[in-house]
Amino acid sequence: MSEYTVVGQTVARVDAVEKVTGAAQYGADVHPPGMLYGKIVRSKHAHANIRSIDTSEAEKLPGVRAIITQDDVPSGRRVFATDKVLYLGEPLAAVAATDPDIAEEAAERIKIDYEVLPVVQDVMEAIKPSAPRLHGDDTKDGPSRREISGQIRTLSRDKENDHSDEISKLEAELENYPDEVYYNISAESHTEAGDVEKGFAASDVVVEDTYVIPRVHQTYMEPHVSVASADSSGKVTVWASTQGPFAIRSGIAGTLGIPLTQINVIGTTMGGGFGGRFGVIITHVPAVLLSQKTGRPVRVQMTREEEFTDGRPAPGCVIKLKTGATNDGRILAREALAFWDSGSVSGASIGSTIRVRGVYKIPNLKVDAYGVHTNKSGTAAYRAPGAPQAIFAGESQLDEIAERIGMDPVKFRLMNMREEGDEVPAGGSEPKVGYKETLEAVADAAGWWDREAGENQGWGVAVGDWTNGCGPGGVYVSVHEDGSVRIFHGSMDITGTDTAISQIIAEILTVPYESVTIRRGDTDSAPYSTGSGGSVVTFTMGNTAKLAAEDAHRRILELASERLNTNVDNLELKDGAVHVISAEPPKSISLGELAAYSLSTTGGPIVGKGSFARQASTPALAAQIAKVEVDPGTGRTRVLKLVASQDVGFAINPMAVEGQIEGGTVQGYAWAMMEEMQYGEEGNINPGFVDYRVPTSADLPTVESVIVEVPAPNGPYGAKGVGEPPITPTLATMANAVKDAIGIRITELPIKPEKVVDALKSNGH
């Protein structure tokens, strides 16, 4: 029996009725009077110099109210391309018109004169000296050259001694690595712990492979949209479908030179985000500019095709990975070299390459990662950004090692998993996390230990780790005269977080969950809140909500102490009333009575305030097992069973937690098996759901979820952020299951049927 009455229980979400009746208001549902429709004019080439932009024909079209280009951006920050476009679909201008069809027609009438340039889409081509260069000075040294150059720098700094001989020797050695000067590099990241060379030398088995993970789109169902309204006083209101209204506010302020107090961002109900809904310039800035220019509200809404060409998807990458282990199953060393496809701007989550270390005791680790420019749109976060890619490589290779040393893949992982107090390679000391419990739970639930596989069937297992983020947030709680409770805050509900916040406050104020209502504010009226990404909300806002409720709780006891004429130490809040402890006959006063009484006191109404910024969070583990059947004729893989467990710390709303596990797992499945943004000479070639397949209910069986609860010390009631971890292991889970079924390791995702058929053919089937 739980010691809690509201948290830990499955409750219907606070937004249940509005979401099943069509009443919830999403971005495109906002329609202020006089609204115009914006349309972005996009490049038709992936790489080209712009000779001229001619808007005259578009201006003549009746209904066109404004056309803007980069000349209209006061800060000069790149919103529209001017002299050069770097990817297909890059914005060049925007139009506002009285009707969406007129806006579209006007956009087509704008004449762009292009001088087409050579295109580079593949990261491994982009790093070569022969590749077209997207930006100026962007060459970097690879790992070996870096090491040698570092030694040269150290020696040159020593002015006391003469090292000229050593230096010239090292300089000559540099010549041995001509391929290690990389071009089109946007960023780099390097980590080292122990000595990998020694680790490999001491290993009985060393496996080396190259893993290729495609660029995929978050594919939230609601395309990007914003509605902006600039009034004659200069005040700007933006209805934005975004994960972070406060970030959008500061982004607009910085780009357009508008004071923060003159911008109000109203976050509309969000039709999915998954990390891809933080961008400022995609629709919000053009909408504000068009509204400023026309004096009317303007909606800028992307089509699904525009989402694919100019969204900010998850980066693809190429990871060269090497792992060494002993015959008795100890992992001794791991080395990674990764190239992340960052697109036209930097921003790919290259730091996540470190996730190849997994949750294992690896004494020697070396990770080198580079972000690479290609002629594609920039990238953004997607559910545990960077982790699914790195973990795909790491967990695929673990199975290869397990196979070579003849160990069961689950046992091999259990044996190498870190325990509390163990050193994390390049990362401090391990806290208490349910790594083994979570893997054991999924193995038991899936029937791993007595698994059977028919012909062409196979089983795969993998684990993935992730740690929720944390950020600043504020919450107010107000108790009304009828005993009901109102919550005010500024974070966007990311599928269930408002419900979790409400549950926490109901728990502390001992009122029924139904009597708590939550009001999400705009940036004008709500306290600051960090964006809803990085699994931060339940951790951050849950803690903030707790503080606010505890603050209200203090005031409630203070009022009751006045009313009941006794010290607060003799009082307890229970079932929505304050009771005098062990009073005979019982003596109590209800929350409603106290709230009514508070209005005539010196101290005033019951208002609780919570403000919170940072606490260390605890890693979470997701462990999954799949059973598949591969049709050797068609190459199609059918999932027979998909079981997902996760250490969630504490499940505040178990049904919502299961929903996160199931949804994340299916997104991981899709990345493994079907999704891939494809690029040709002229950019993205599959910008729609016919060619970019996402899973439907027909593709999958029921996902079985298993909740494991090892409390996080600083989480509210021990809770961890649950949204991101479940996508992290699935790519490898699927690849490992396919390997088990057909005996061939596929290292390049997605595992589409044609790839399986090709693999079988080239292996003599």
Partner 1 sequence: MAKLPVNLTVNGDEHDLLIEPRKTLLAVLRDTVGLTGTKEGCSTGDCGACTVIVDGKAVTSCMVLGVTASGKEITTIEGLASDGELHPVQQAFINTGGYQCGFCTPGFIMASKALIDENPDRTEEEFRHALGGNICRCTGYTKILEAVLKAAEEIRTTA
Active site residues: 724
Euclidean distance between CA atoms 658 and 645, whole angstroms: 9
Stretch that binds partner 1, among 68-76, 220-228, 353-361, 712-720 (CB under 8 A): 220-228
Residues 6+ apart with CB under 8 A from 342: 186, 187, 315, 348, 350, 371, 372, 373, 374, 378, 379
Question: What sign does the CA torsion over 71, 77, 80, 82 have?
Answer: positive
Q: Assess 271 for contact with partner 1 (CB under 8 A).
A: yes
Task: Verify binding: residue 96, partner 1, rule CB under 8 A.
Answer: no
Binding of partner 1 by 640 (CB under 8 A): no
Of 400-408, 509-517, 529-537, 699-707, which segment contacts partner 1 by CB under 8 A? 699-707
Of 19-27, 355-363, 518-526, 708-716: span binding partner 1 (CB under 8 A) = 19-27
Q: Which amino acid is at 285?
A: V
Nearer to partner 1, 1 or 690 (CB): 690
- In the list 9, 24, 447, 745, the residue contacting partner 1 (rule: CB under 8 A) is 24
Nearer to partner 1, 609 or 693 (CB): 693
Interface with partner 1 includes 667 (CB under 8 A)? Answer: yes
Minimal distance in Å, beta carbon 395 to partner 1?
A: 20
Q: DSSP code of 202?
A: T
The string over 29-49, giving b where at least 16 C-beta atoms fall within 10 Å of a residue's C-beta and e elsewhere, is ebeeeebbbbbbbbbbbbbbe
**CA dist 501 → 6, 131, 354, 441 (Å):** 11, 51, 33, 28
Helix (H, G, I), strand (E, B) or coil at 744: coil
Which residue is listed with tokens 């893997």? 439
Burial of residue 133 (CB within 10 Å: 0-12, 13-18, 19+) is middle
101 counts as binding partner 1 under rule CB under 8 A: yes
Burial 695-719 (b: 16+ CB within 10 A, else e): eeeeebeebbbbbbbbbbebbbbbb
Which of helix, strand or coil describes residue 53? strand
60 in contact with partner 1 (CB under 8 A): no
* Residue 337 token pair: 């070299």
CB 366 within 8 A of CB 336: yes
Residue with token string 């269930």: 496
Stretch that binds partner 1, among 229-237, 430-438, 524-532, 684-692 (CB under 8 A): 684-692
* DSSP 3-state of 133: coil
Residue found by looking up tokens 């919170």 in the block: 612
d(CA 506, CA 516): 6
Q: Which of 220, 392, 539, 679 binds partner 1 (CB under 8 A)?
A: 220
Residue 665 as a binder of partner 1 (CB under 8 A): the answer is yes
Position among 272, 512, 521, 753 found at the interface with partner 1 (CB under 8 A)? 272
Q: Rule CB under 8 A: say whether 32 interacts with partner 1.
A: no
Nearer to partner 1, 27 or 363 (CB): 27
User: What's the maximum distance between 2 C-alpha atoms anywhere in the chain?
Assistant: 95
| Residue type at position 235 | K
Which residue from 2, 25, 75, 634 is in contact with partner 1, where contact means CB under 8 A? 25
CB nearer to partner 1: pick between 19 and 519: 19
Least distance CB 84 / partner 1 (angstroms): 30
Window of 263-271, 433-441, 550-558, 629-637 that interacts with partner 1 by CB under 8 A: 263-271
Angstrom distance (rounded) from CA 184 to CA 707: 44
Which of 1, 3, 22, 130: binder of partner 1 (CB under 8 A)? 22
Q: How many residues does the chain have?
A: 765
Should residue 662 be labelled a site residue for partner 1 when binding is judged by CB under 8 A? Answer: yes
Part of the chain binding partner 1 (CB under 8 A), chosen from 212-220, 449-457, 506-514, 630-638: 212-220
Q: Pick the stretch among 52-60, 272-280, 402-410, 451-459 that binds partner 1 (CB under 8 A).
A: 272-280
Among 680, 688, 713, 743, binds partner 1 (CB under 8 A): 688
**Given its phi and psi angles, is residue 497 left (phi above 0), alpha (psi -120 to 50 degrees) or beta?**
alpha
Residues 438/445, Cβ–Cβ less than 8 Å: no
- Least spacing, CB of residue 558 vs partner 1, in Å: 39
CB of 432 to partner 1, least distance (A): 29
Smaller CB distance to partner 1: residue 629 or 681?
Answer: 629
Does 449 engage in binding with partner 1 (CB under 8 A)?
Answer: no
**Radius of gyration of the chain from its Cα atoms, rounded to whole angstroms:** 28
Nearer to partner 1, 449 or 689 (CB): 689
Token reading at 349: 């989550």
Please tell me the count of residues contacting partner 1 according to CB under 8 A: 58
Find out whether 650 and 711 touch, Cβ atoms under 8 Å: yes
d(CA 389, CA 356) in angstroms, rounded, equals 9
Q: Does 656 bind partner 1 (CB under 8 A)?
A: yes
Residue 86 or residue 500: which is nearer to partner 1 going by CB? 500
* Cis peptide bond prior to 585, omega within 30° of 0: yes
Q: Is 386 exposed, middle or buried (0-12, 13-18, 19+ CB in 10 A)?
A: buried
Tokens representing 188 are 């780099």
One residue of 52, 161, 221, 428 binding partner 1 per CB under 8 A: 221
Q: Residues 666, 707, 719, 735: which binds partner 1 (CB under 8 A)?
A: 666
- Which residues lie below 8 Å from residue 147, measured CB to CB, with a gap of 6+? none
Q: How far is the CB of 301 from partner 1 (least distance, A)?
A: 8
Report the distance separating Cα 189 and Cα 143, nearest Å: 11
Kindly tell me which residue out of 4, 26, 114, 177 binds partner 1, with binding defined by CB under 8 A.
Answer: 26
Q: Does 269 bind partner 1 (CB under 8 A)?
A: yes
Residue 10 CB, shortest distance to partner 1, in Å, is 8
Q: Which stretch binds partner 1 (CB under 8 A): 20-28, 135-143, 166-174, 252-260?
A: 20-28
Q: Is 20 in the site for partner 1 (CB under 8 A)?
A: yes
Instruction: State the Cα–Cα distance between residues 729 and 537, nearest whole angstrom.
Output: 22
Nearest distance from C-beta of residue 243 to partner 1, angstroms: 11
State which residue, 6 or 196, has the beta carbon closest to partner 1. 6
Considering only residues 488 through 517, tell me which ones interact with partner 1, judged by CB under 8 A.
495-496
C-beta closer to partner 1: residue 563 or 638 = 638
Query: Which residue's structure tokens are 């397949």?
Result: 693
Does residue 242 bind partner 1 (CB under 8 A)?
Answer: no
Given the rule CB under 8 A, which of 361-369, 414-422, 608-616, 687-695 is the region that contacts partner 1? 687-695
> Which of 430, 662 has the CB closer to partner 1?
662
Binding-residue pattern over the window 275 to 304 for partner 1, x denoting contact by CB under 8 A: ----------------------------xx
Q: Enter the tokens of residue 182.
A: 């990389």
The amino acid present at 723, given as its one-letter code, is G
Using rule CB under 8 A, residue 306 touches partner 1: no
Closest approach of partner 1 to the CB of residue 239, in Å = 13
583 belongs to the binding site for partner 1 (CB under 8 A): no
CA-nearest of 464, 765, 440, 460 to 640 is 460
66 in Cβ contact with 41 (< 8 Å): no
Which residues of the shown chain bind partner 1 in the complex (CB under 8 A)? 10, 12-13, 15-26, 28-29, 31, 100-101, 218-223, 269-274, 303-304, 495-496, 655-656, 658-659, 662-667, 688-690, 694-698, 700, 702-703, 705
